[in-house]
Amino acid sequence: MIQKERLLNTFLDYVTIDSESTAEKAMAERIAADLREIGCRIYFDASREKTGCDTGNLYCTLPATAEGEPILFSAHMDTVVPGRGIKPIIKDGVIYSAGDTVLGGDDKSGVAAIVEALRTVAERGLPHPEIQAVFTVAEEVGLRGSAALEYDRITAKRAVVLDSSGDTGKIITQAPGQYKINAAVIGRRAHAGVAPEEGVSAIQVLAHAIAAMKLLRIDEETTANIGTVSAQYATNIVPERAEMQAEARSRSDDKLEAQVKHMADCLQSACDRFGARLALDLKRAYSAYAHAPDDPFVRTVADTCVRIGVTPQLAASGGGSDANNLNAHGIKALVLGTGMTKVHTTQEELSIRNLEDTARLALALMTV
């Protein structure tokens, strides 16, 4: 029922619109124009000051023509770097970039599928409950857009977020929460050749702290990683300050809190041992969520997959998405696979079949 050629052309157009994180305005304006044509109500929020973006989140509503519970569809408009000047190439039914940029299927595959499904519903006059959609900014840089949504504008209490790798039919029912950990160790400067014993090396202290930490894969649900360690001094100076940026994730809130405490304790213990001070900033980026396999909405989505000839596969994720923030605000949200693979790399690819199946699934959920 969807128009396959139009869907493909829409996706190809969308990925050529530059929209690296915080610079999504051109993309947002194009989506808004496409949806106004079919009679959707469009709204941009005033989240720019919070997100640092050049546009707000985009909201779309297609008023109900039949009884039923409202449903929300979500996808993000931004891409990771390098995402400027994308040139899509099709070979053997698969879409690639020219090789010097990402493709942008993350998440323009989700955007294009939602837009095509809405077009089909409107053009064919298919009966449907109220359909809402939000297209968010700055998802790739800390879920900033969905954190700043005007949640009182969203009436739907169930949502699908089209933003996962894996074939159409993949249903993410669990995802971790995350902490951002920023630490500064403050030691004491001294001349490294004349009086090193008068100094406290912040680098040495931080190294001891990191060596004591459990990192990377902690258990099936929990991970932790240090992304940056920084200190720049001449070799004849005992360094007085060293900084670390890290994260911890877990699908268990208790395990997440325990891992963060462990990392903080390692830092404090090393500082106490060497006589340094610790400046520690712990920030909860987003919370975990989990939906049972027999949850009614999970079953609805899985059954809809079967109805359109797609095999449902329930899965847990190790990464966050806008669904984390939606769930935290009382909206039951699932993340669906769109077929994108090798995301965040210049080898990213997307099969045309998955693009079509994702749009068909979105359409079926809109009219279920």
- Around Cβ 260, how many Cβ atoms within 10 Å? 21
Q: Which of 20, 24, 45, 78 is catalytic?
A: 78
User: What does the H/E/C string look like for 177-212?
Assistant: EEEEEEEEEECECEECCCCHHHCECHHHHHHHHHHC
* Phi and psi torsions of 120, nearest 5°: -65, -45
- Around Cβ 45, how many Cβ atoms within 10 Å? 19
CB-based contact 184:255 (threshold 8 Å): no
What angle do helix axes 352-366 and 105-124 make, rounded to 10 degrees? 50
Query: Is residue 92 annotated as a catalytic residue, yes or no?
Result: no
Burial classification of residue 327, based on how many CB atoms lie within 10 Å of its CB (0-12 exposed, 13-18 middle, 19 or more buried): buried
Query: Is residue 100 annotated as a catalytic residue, yes or no?
Result: no
* Phi and psi torsions of 102, nearest 5°: -70, 170
Q: Which of 20, 45, 106, 139 is catalytic?
A: 139
DSSP string, 21-59: TT--HHHHHHHHHHHHTTT-EEEE-S-HHHH--SS--EE
Radius of gyration of the chain (CA): 23
Which residues participate in catalysis according to the annotation? 78, 139
